[in-house]
Amino acid sequence: MTRAGVLRALAPSEKIHAVKESYIGYTVRAAGRLDPAALTTAFEAVYRAYPHLSARVEFTGDGVVLAESEDSAVRPEVRFTDGDPGKPLAGLEVDQHRSLSALNVVRDGDEASVCLAIQHSIADAHHATAILSTLWSCYTDVVAGVPLDLPRHPYPRSLEDLLAERGIHANAPAGELPVPASPPDPVVRHVVQHRLTEAETAALADLGHREGVTINGLVSGVILQAEAEIRGMPPTELVYRYSVNLRSRLTPPVGATEGTNVLGGVGFKATGGIEHDVVAIGRAIGAQLRAGLADGSVQRSILDMFSRPAAVKPWDPSLALAVVSIMNWGVIPPMRTPDGLRLTNLHSASRMRDTIALGGYVMSSFGGRVGIDLAWPEGDPSLPGRLECLRERLAHLTRDL
């Protein structure tokens, strides 16, 4: 491999995902005629326009760096196979030392999953789904015979750089993240999704408007109640960790693909003074978030996490029982498709090297419907009961509206 050189060192908020070799799959389910040649052409245009998709990660004596290659033969993989679309990463072998993205298509007749897998160091969900929207626009144009002429985008910047130029800094210098000598085997999380109907989604939105609670807050309240029941713990003993997209909350705002992981992280704990119903929990989560954004603690949260000595140590497995995690992907951008092809759903997938194989939630809104992914290691015996508990609680909430 011919090396064109180092682009830049990875910041701590990026490096943590390189250490875990984290690839996140942004998966759409397609129904109808899918043209492999047109999709390949579209993806080639996209990764030329967004060159970080073709970059790689290197571990050097000076740290972990983002690097590019002059070897024209080294390009992100595009793979088509027949199989179960419910397993969108099936057969895909990703290597962050070769390329930081890939496109994996698993077909079953006229049904297919199209999974854009991106190394988490270079893109969060808001970044990746913007690229995914561009991919489908390009595909639609290729099928229609419209020439592609995408502008070339600069390499995205780190959260640390974007915050620093806005005068936001950690309360203490960042610590050094350890790189494990023998990384654990990759874990592919099995995803099952509970997707609300359009009517149920609209009912949640109406409830939120009446009560001054976001859909995210309401869903969070349901998840906390469900997890308390499943784990046999009172809600007050659970720590709820969730992500916040900071792009529109910074001045000036940050474009979707201008930064890699432009996120804040918030931990919420229901105190004894909060009623343990969905609306009250959701309202408390929203109030805490607004206060954290007002005092800047949410904007600094990731910086401060890496400035604490404890942040550079392996995560304490004894805390696993008490932590509930969710990534909020927000409203997915619209995606164009040609006649004869429909995109019916979107869900997550992931592959990473984890010391502790934990499960978590991903929430998104696609096509006017809220989807809640339960991403747990495949074969986890708790998953069917967890899904049923969540489904029942959401159904109970929406029936009562």
Residues 205-239 pLDDT 10s: 999 999 999 999 999 999 999 999 999 999 899 99
> Are residues 147 and 211 located together in one domain of the fold?
no
- Cis ω on the peptide bond leading into residue 252 (within 30° of 0)? yes
> Are residues 130 and 262 located together in one domain of the fold?
no
> Are residues 252 and 156 located together in one domain of the fold?
no
> Are residues 254 and 154 located together in one domain of the fold?
no
> Are residues 96 and 197 located together in one domain of the fold?
no
Tokens standing for 384? 């069917």
- Domains of the chain: total: 2
Among residues 116, 134, 164, the one where a domain terminates is: 164
**Nearest of 105, 15, 17, 3 to residue 55 by alpha carbon:** 3
pLDDT-derived band at 315, boundaries 50, 70, 90: very low
Q: Are the CB atoms for 70 and 172 separated by under 8 Å?
A: no
Other C-beta atoms lying within 10 Å of the C-beta of residue 77: 16
The C-alpha atoms of residue 315 and residue 311 are separated, in whole angstroms, by 8
Residues 279-303 pLDDT 10s: 999 999 999 999 999 999 999 999 9
pLDDT of res. 371? 98
Percentage of the chain beyond pLDDT 90 is 79
The C-alpha atoms of residue 390 and residue 103 are separated, in whole angstroms, by 31
Helix, strand, coil content of the chain in percent (nearest 5): 35, 30, 35
Instruction: Let me know if residue 351 belongs to a domain.
Output: no
> Are residues 226 and 145 located together in one domain of the fold?
no
> Are residues 235 and 194 located together in one domain of the fold?
yes
> Are residues 125 and 87 located together in one domain of the fold?
yes
Instruction: Let me know if residue 344 belongs to a domain.
Output: no
Q: What is the DSSP letter of 248?
A: G
Residues 61-84 have a mean pLDDT of 86
> Are residues 158 and 191 located together in one domain of the fold?
no
Instruction: Let me know if residue 320 belongs to a domain.
Output: yes
CATH number for the domain including 138?
3.30.559.10
CATH number for the domain including 380?
3.30.559.30
Instruction: Let me know if residue 325 belongs to a domain.
Output: yes
Instruction: Let me know if residue 181 belongs to a domain.
Output: no
Among residues 164, 198, 220, the one where a domain terminates is: 164
Range of the domain at 28: 3-164
Instruction: Pick the range with the lowest mean pLDDT from 58-62, 175-179, 263-267.
Output: 175-179
Instruction: Let me know if residue 137 belongs to a domain.
Output: yes
> Are residues 93 and 132 located together in one domain of the fold?
yes
The C-alpha atoms of residue 238 and residue 235 are separated, in whole angstroms, by 5
Residues 241-257 pLDDT 10s: 999 999 999 999 999 99
pTM strictly above 0.85 = yes
Instruction: Let me know if residue 172 belongs to a domain.
Output: no
